[in-house]
Amino acid sequence: MNPSIVRTLRSRWFSGCIHASLWLLLYLAVTHLGGKGFEAREADATAMPPQSPIPVAHLNTLFSTGAAREWLAETNSMNPFFTRYFIPPPSAPPTTRTVEVTYQGFYETDGGPRQAVCKVAEAFVTAAVGAKVAGNLFVSDATMQSLTLTNPAAMTNILQLNVKKEIVVPIQ
Q: Is the pTM of this model over 0.75?
A: no
pLDDT on residue 58: 67
Residue 18: domain span: 1-32
Q: Where are the alpha helices (DSSP H) in 11-157?
A: 12-30, 59-62, 65-75
Query: Is 155 part of any domain?
Result: yes
Residue 110 burial by CB count (10 A; 0-12/13-18/19+): exposed, middle or buried?
A: exposed
pLDDT on residue 2: 86
Within 8 A by CB and 6+ apart from 15, the residues are none
CATH number of the domain at 110, please. Answer: 2.30.30
Query: Is 10 part of any domain?
Result: yes
Query: What is the rounded CA–CA span in Å between residue 147 and residue 159?
Result: 5
Q: How many domains does the chain have?
A: 2
* 10-residue mean pLDDT series, the chain (172 residues): 84 92 88 70 67 67 61 59 74 89 91 90 90 89 92 88 90 77
**DSSP labels, 94-116:** PSEEEEEEEEEEEEE-TTS-EEE
